Structure 1
Amino acid sequence: MPHRSTNGADGRGELTVPMAWLYAEYIADELLRTGDLMPPTSFEYRAGRDALALTIFLSDVERELSRIRVVSQLDTWLSLTAYDRAWEDWVAERMAALAAEARASGGADADLDLARAAWRWLEETELLAPDLDAALLEGAARDEEEGPQVWTPAWQLGLPLGHLAIHLF
């Protein structure tokens, strides 16, 4: 996405660089690369990176992401990406809160724009994945290529991948 010049609150038309989002994406990428779970060129990897980046970005309620210590946040990110957590509801709530903050301040939020684009991709993109429910019920073959598969929203694959990457870090 090309950077675009916007008129800031001071009216000088400064370039808005989405540093918080880029930093969250960098942390997510490093966690996934360290875990070496998927090839970085795969859609599954992108789903994991985007889900983790959203988790990291949206959990930064103080808006001081560049000052955080990754190790001190791992437990928070693990709990947010846990299987029994309604992650997608949490994402929607945090995005709405950030959008309200941006409207109240009267300015554009380049970080939020990129977070919205990532969330839209995670929601709208479906990836072919093993159907674990059917495999458990049918006692299907262990090889996922031979077992039942189902189209799944990208976030449903990316979230557990990101969770596992945090564990492996």
Structure 2
Amino acid sequence: MPETKKKKSRDLSTMEEIHPIKKMEIGNLPSAEQGSGYLVEGSTISLGIIDGDEELKVLNKIKRLEFRLEAERKTSKAFEEKLSKLQAAKEGVEKDYADTRKKLEERNKVLSDEIKAMELKLRKSETRAVTAEQALNPLKKGLLKSQISETKAQQELYKLKIENIKQVEE
């Protein structure tokens, strides 16, 4: 029994620390008038508070919940900061990607233009080669004709030399 008295006295002193009660307030409370609302028969919510021990349990539970809420807020804030950092990093990467893509597209355009210019030069060179070949053909024909004429002239010369030798021998 002495323990329960000590416990109750501790509970009351703890309660007084949390909710200090003035002696004047207890005696001067005005009496509540009975209304006709839905709370005429009493509160619809029951807290189940029987004595100070139960109230302390509820208060301790509230403190634990407040502590957990604060921890969750800190965790949430840390996640928000991490998210903002990740979003900033994402924006940086997206900007780098866009810049790189733009540079690559520009370089691709330059290379494409260079390829087109080289293809045009190739076509022009091929056209010049065909033209040169066509211009060379008459020269080749002329050369062949002159070689044939030269060969014929040499044959005539040999023929004349042979005839000359035959005449000298006779």
Which has the higher Rg, Structure 1 or Structure 2? 2
Into which bin does the TM-score normalised by the smaller protein fall?
Answer: under 0.3
What is the TM-score with the length of structure 2 in the denominator? Answer: 0.19
What is the TM-score with the length of structure 1 in the denominator? Answer: 0.19
| Structure number having the greater strand percentage | 1
| Structure number having the greater helix percentage | 2
